[in-house]
Structure 1
Amino acid sequence: PVASPQCLHVVLFVAQLLSLLLIVVGRCRASFPRWWYNATSQTCQRFIFGGCRGNSNNFLSEEECKKGCATGEEDRATEKGHSKNPAVGGSFPRCNGTPARPKRCLGDFFCAAPKEVGHCRASFPRWYFDTETRTCKMFIYGGCGGNKNNYIFEEHCLNQCSGNGGKRREMLRPKENIGKLEVVLAILLAVMAAILLGSMVFFFIKLCRRNQDGTLERVWSTMDDKESLMNNAYTL
């Protein structure tokens, strides 16, 4: 059976992700010349492979590396809608619901994932990208499990994730706007409370003055009545 175009796009997308992995020389001590794709410089570079425990970013020749991963010129051609490399041509899978190129989705796999120490109990110092502070921080990795947000060196973490903060900033803007709105509302409420308190104080002071004036008037009217009675008595 012939694979559907959607399946082919998914396979090509996974191939692109595998090609963008960091270089791994392996734990063995052999010396095999190999090639790996550097996503930062977008070039295929030579390295010495130990013979075991590598990853998929490991090619026998430079030509194989170039065929499996896009070069800088092919990337620019793809932006215009044309590519000589079938692995990066045509439409691309969706990243968060919108059509996007595989490299633009890397932040979701390699940078935006939360820190995971894994379920083993080893103690390996590693680095992960913190999307809140947009910096790389050290953590202790257990040795197995975890996710792709796991780097041996801080430089690798910065090279992979330092340019993926645009989407995160857009996600944080609503929170920042909400914070500013809360401050403005708090200030308005404080001003309204001060105005209301001042009005109440003024009202009570005015009411007390009115009561005091009424009391004085009653006192003076009583004294006037007594004086008129005494004057009438003397007159009689």
Structure 2
Amino acid sequence: MSDQWPKIYVPVCSLKPDSGNCFAAFRNWYHVKGVCKEFIYGGCGGNRNNFQTREECERKCVVCNLPSETGPCRMRLERWFYDNGVCKKFVYGGCAGNDNRFETLNACQRACTIERRYP
């Protein structure tokens, strides 16, 4: 991939399930519309919407679909949350809230998207 092409961040959890190009038969999990579902993975290739356990799928994909949540405390910490295809800033109070909360834009993008470069 060329570094001169623009970066496009693709939501990991909205990728269509891809069984890959090998012929094993692993029962893996993918995310679609707020739930994690089982599918047969061939063992190689495919994409990142592919998890070995339901728990791993939910931890990654359900978290990225939670709303931003400031929490009850009154600190004013700049944080990032994932919202409908893009990471956005919000003010976090410093306690409670939910796990759709990242310290940096980069951390949010790593958790909830994949980077691709297109001409």
Give the alignment's TM-score, normalised by structure 2: 0.52
RMSD: 2.9
Among 139, 151, 155, the alignment partner of 2:90 is 139
Matched, 1:124 2:68: no
Separation in 1, partners of 2:81, 2:36? 26
Judging by fraction of residues, say which structure has more strand.
Answer: 2
Instruction: Structure 1 unaligned segments of length 5 or more: list them.
Output: 1-75, 83-89, 164-236
Equivalent runs, 1:1-236 vs 2, <5 Å? 80-81=24-25, 96=35, 98-99=37-38, 101=51, 102=53, 103-105=56-58, 106-109=60-63, 111-131=64-84, 134-163=85-114
Deviations 1:184-208 (A, max 9, x none): xxxxxxxxxxxxxxxxxxxxxxxxx
Mark the structure with the bigger radius of gyration.
1
- C-alpha displacement of 1:162: 1.5
- C-alpha displacement of 1:142: 0.4
SS in 2 for 1:129: strand
Instruction: Structure 2 unaligned segments of length 5 or more: list them.
Output: 1-19, 40-50, 115-119
Separation in 2, partners of 1:147, 1:129? 12
Deviations 1:45-80 (A, max 9, x none): xxxxxxxxxxxxxxxxxxxxxxxxxxxxxxx9xx93
- Paired residue total: 75
Shift in CA distance, 124/97, structure 1 to aligned 2, threshold 3 Å: closer
Separation in 2, partners of 1:91, 1:152? 30
Percent identity (aligned): 28
Judging by fraction of residues, say which structure has more helix.
Answer: 1
Separation in 1, partners of 2:92, 2:102? 10
Separation in 2, partners of 1:121, 1:139? 13
Shift in CA distance, 122/96, structure 1 to aligned 2, threshold 3 Å: same
Higher RCO (Cα < 8 Å, 6 or more apart): 2
SS in 1 for 2:91: strand
Separation in 1, partners of 2:38, 2:72? 35
- C-alpha displacement of 1:135: 1.2
- Give the aligned residue type for 1:157: C
Shift in CA distance, 147/80, structure 1 to aligned 2, threshold 3 Å: farther
